[in-house]
Amino acid sequence: MKKTSISKTLFILALFLYATTGFTDDDFPEQAFVNQILNADSLPAGVIFTVREYDEDALYWVLPRVEKYMLELRQRFPKLTIAMVSHGDEIISLSQENKHNHKTTHKLLQKLVTQGDLLFHICGTMARMNGLDQDDFPDYVDVVPYGPAQVEDYLSLGFELVDLELTW
């Protein structure tokens, strides 16, 4: 078995174990949207998760939810394309400079991208507003010119939107 296959198998197993830990739908406010996708008769074009928060630590809370949703979606639709766009202050935590302060976030994101095939993008405009550019982020973070335009591109391809806002 190839190393990639083993990694992906371990990733799916980890997601399954995470998903069976006794959380309720109240712990995952977007679950209703994910359930609508899961109940579709056919494979959607893809799913785009989006987050825009004012909290640098937001991805610490958001990424475990994305991990759970990815497991559910891939169990139903194994070939589903899943993407995520982050375009708020949470992107600051993803800079190389902040990697030591946000180890858990970086480790999980890297796993979701490399083993879970998550297409992950951040807003370059927001990065520049925070004094950061593409070179300030690790390779598993794709910096796009403008996050909302990236979301619109996915929507124009027929992707289903799941908004991961924390500040209700």
Gap between the Cα atoms of 54 and 159, Å rounded: 25
Domain that holds residue 103: 3-163
Percent of the chain with pLDDT over 90: 79
The answer as to whether 168 is a domain residue is no
Angle between helices 3-19 and 58-76 (to 10 degrees): 110
The answer as to whether 117 is a domain residue is yes
The answer as to whether 83 is a domain residue is yes
Which CATH number belongs to the domain containing residue 155 in this structure?
Answer: 3.40.1260.10
- 15-33 pLDDT tens trace: 454 454 555 555 678 999 9
> What tokens were used for 95?
């800079």
The answer as to whether 18 is a domain residue is yes
- 99-138 pLDDT tens trace: 999 999 999 999 999 999 999 999 999 999 999 999 999 9
> What tokens were used for 157?
């391809």
The answer as to whether 73 is a domain residue is yes
**52, 83, 99, 138, 160 from 163: Cα distances, Å:** 9, 12, 25, 24, 10
Q: Please give the tally of structural domains in the chain.
A: 1
The chain-wide mean pLDDT, for the chain, equals 88
What is the predicted pLDDT for the residue at 77?
Answer: 97
Q: 3-class SS at 16?
A: helix
The answer as to whether 144 is a domain residue is yes
- With cut-offs at 50, 70 and 90, classify the pLDDT of residue 7: very low
The answer as to whether 148 is a domain residue is yes
- With cut-offs at 50, 70 and 90, classify the pLDDT of residue 4: low
**34, 37, 133, 139, 146 from 30: Cα distances, Å:** 6, 11, 31, 28, 24
Local structure of residue 52 (DSSP, 8 states) = -
The answer as to whether 123 is a domain residue is yes
